[in-house]
């Protein structure tokens, strides 16, 4: 019975932060059309529930939710619903690394093996592991593989992901660098576990504690968390679902509200309501509302010039992608505007966060269902929706 009052108290505290004040004024051009497309995408992809917000100058000026956070019992998606953001977490890890750079604790051109000599066990025919730098890890150009755990066959006894550093170290002699470090883009989840390990080595804090102390607490992001959902937020946690089809029928399977991302938390462990991501977007876009105290708090987390450095392309993504990769941010030109952001996909959750630094606007969305029955069509539908979301930033 205490869950709702405690949750309400936290919401009141968070809404006291100017960045998170929700208003239904000055919706972006095309919002009504976009929300209809959002609803159509959810229906087409058999998604149980999702939500999207538009943020201007740090304030939520438009919000739309559709469907259920859970089906048994039926709980509708609302402004308090807690989603999982997958790889958007990598931005947190990157900002933490840049904080340590600002404090003189490391250089982006430092050899990674200076901090993690265990990586010298990784096989390479394309150079030395000593050639890999922190900058390459941040920009996905070090040559490491994409998945953290590439050996899964979907058996019930297999872990969702490795849970301990020692397990990754034991795997290192059986990994390889896929291309010459720094020569091109190659998305890598393990790279961000290595970055988190560097943070832990230099600060003495576990990764999760460092993020709470140095990012979320100073920014007032009181409902963000890693791992198991805190008891006072549990009523708002979205379940995650998988849509599957076999020879007999198609069905939506509930995977459980909480799951253990294991050691992959630094590359995909962030849970929060969309309101906390609005606060994060306010920080990223420098939306202080002219308030000097907010400006000082933002600069204390990371100076503006350093954030802008993270939006400079390091390597092109390549292929058909319109994006380049900066230090952990995707950078793309859309209708003549430079947009910055990241997407995330883990378990049944899928999410995006993109912003325009020049206009201090952002669009952020999340859904709680993965379509495994027709992944090709699902990916195409998601890509089309993301393009429409970016149209809101750059009409």
**For 10-44, how does the pLDDT look when each residue is reduced to its tens digit (9 = 90+)?**
333 333 344 444 445 689 999 999 999 999 999 99
pLDDT beyond 80 at 158: no
Q: What integer is the mean pLDDT of 359-383?
A: 95
Last residue of a domain, one of 150, 171, 203: 203
Of 146, 132, 159, 269, give the one whose Cα is nearest residue 206: 269
Are residue 227 and residue 350 in the same domain, yes or no?
yes
**193-222 mean pLDDT:** 98
Dist. CA 329–CA 261, nearest whole Å:
22
Q: Are residues 118 and 82 in the same domain?
A: no
Mark whether 107 and 244 lie in a shared domain: no
User: Cα separation of 261 and 239, whole Å?
Assistant: 15
Per the model's pLDDT, the better-predicted residue between 263 and 161 turns out to be 263
As a whole-number percent, the residues of the chain with pLDDT over 90 amount to 82
Residue 74: pLDDT band by 50, 70, 90 thresholds? very high
> Taking 80 as the threshold, does the pLDDT of residue 257 lie above it?
yes
Whether residue 358 is found in the same domain as residue 220: yes
Q: Give the range among 59-63, 125-129, 195-199, 328-332 with minimum mean pLDDT.
A: 125-129
The predicted model gives 326-349 an average pLDDT of: 96
199 with 210, same domain: the answer is no
Residues 228 and 338 in one domain: yes
Say yes or no to pLDDT of 155 above 90: no
Last residue of a domain, one of 174, 203, 232: 203
- Pairwise CA distance, residues 78 & 56, whole Å: 20
> pLDDT at position 174, please?
85
pLDDT value at 156 more than 90: no
Q: What pLDDT is attached to residue 20?
A: 41
| The pLDDT value given to residue 364 | 98
User: By percentage, how much of the chain surpasses pLDDT 70?
Assistant: 91
Mean pLDDT (whole number) for 338-362:
97
Residue 49 reports pLDDT greater than 80: yes
pLDDT of residue 68: 98
Residues 109 and 73 in one domain: no
In this prediction the pTM is 0.91
Res 250 pLDDT > 50: yes
The pLDDT of residue 3 is above 50 = no
pLDDT digits (tens, 9 = 90+) for 117-141: 999 999 999 989 999 999 999 999 9
Q: Compute and round to an integer the Cα radius of gyration of the chain.
A: 20
**Domain-terminating residue out of 203, 235, 262:** 203
* Amino acid 153: pLDDT: 65
Based on the domain organization, do 266 and 309 belong to the same domain?
yes
Task: Looking at the structure, tell me whether residues 162 and 177 fall in a common domain.
Answer: yes
Confidence of residue 249 (pLDDT cuts 50, 70, 90): confident
Number of domains in the chain: 2
The enclosing domain of 149 has a CATH number of 3.40.710.10
Range(s) of the domain holding residue 162: 94-203
- Residues 84 and 101 placed together within one structural domain of the fold: no
Angle between helices 3-15 and 274-285 (to 10 degrees): 20
In order of 60, 71, 168, 224, 346, the CA distances from 237 in angstroms are 21, 12, 30, 12, 15
154 pLDDT tier (thresholds 50, 70, 90) = low
Residue 9 has pLDDT above 70, yes or no: no
Query: What pLDDT score was predicted for residue 152?
Result: 67
Q: Are residues 363 and 293 in the same domain?
A: yes
The more confident residue out of 98 and 172 is: 98
Same domain, 108 and 235: no
Least confident of 164-168, 255-259, 293-297, 352-356: 164-168
Comparison of pLDDT for 150 and 119, the residue scoring more:
119
């Amino acid at each position: 019975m205490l869950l709702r009052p405690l949750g309400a108290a936290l919401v009141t505290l968070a809404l006291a932060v100017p960045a998170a004040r929700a208003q239904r004024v000055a919706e972006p051009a095309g919002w009504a059309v976009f929300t209809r497309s959002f609803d159509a995408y959810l229906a087409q992809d058999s998604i149980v529930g999702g939500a999207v917000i538009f943020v201007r100058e740090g304030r939520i000026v438009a919000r739309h939710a559709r469907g259920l956070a859970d089906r048994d019992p039926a709980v509708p998606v609302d402004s308090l619903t807690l989603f999982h953001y997958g790889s958007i977490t990598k931005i947190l890890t990157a900002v933490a690394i840049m904080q340590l750079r600002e404090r003189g604790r490391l250089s982006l051109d430092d050899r990674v093996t200076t901090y993690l000599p265990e990586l010298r066990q990784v096989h390479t025919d394309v150079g030395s592991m000593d050639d890999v730098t922190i900058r390459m890890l941040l920009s996905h150009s070090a040559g490491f593989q994409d998945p953290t755990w590439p050996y899964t066959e979907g058996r019930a006894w297999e872990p969702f992901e490795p849970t301990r550093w020692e397990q990754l170290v034991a795997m290192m002699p059986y990994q390889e660098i896929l291309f010459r470090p720094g020569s091109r883009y190659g998305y890598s989840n393990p790279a961000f576990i290595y970055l988190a390990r560097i943070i832990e080595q230099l600060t003495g804090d576990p990764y999760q504690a460092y993020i709470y102390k140095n990012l979320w607490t100073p920014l007032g992001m009181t409902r963000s968390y890693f791992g198991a959902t805190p008891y006072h937020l549990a009523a708002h946690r979205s379940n995650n679902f998988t849509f599957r089809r076999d020879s007999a029928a198609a069905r939506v399977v509930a995977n459980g509200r909480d799951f253990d991302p294991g050691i992959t938390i630094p590359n995909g462990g962030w849970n929060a309501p969309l309101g906390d991501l609005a606060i994060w977007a306010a920080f990223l876009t420098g939306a202080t509302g002219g308030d000097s105290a907010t400006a000082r708090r933002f600069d204390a987390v990371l100076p503006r010039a350093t954030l802008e450095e993270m939006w400079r392309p390091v390597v092109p993504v390549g292929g058909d992608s319109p994006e380049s990769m900066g230090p952990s941010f995707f950078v793309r030109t859309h209708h003549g505007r430079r947009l910055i952001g990241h997407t995330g996909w883990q378990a049944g959750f899928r999410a995006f966060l993109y912003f325009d630094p020049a206009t201090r606007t952002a669009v952020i969305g999340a859904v709680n269902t993965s379509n495994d029955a027709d992944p090709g069509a699902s990916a195409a539908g998601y890509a089309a929706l993301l393009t429409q979301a970016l149209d809101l930033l750059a009409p």
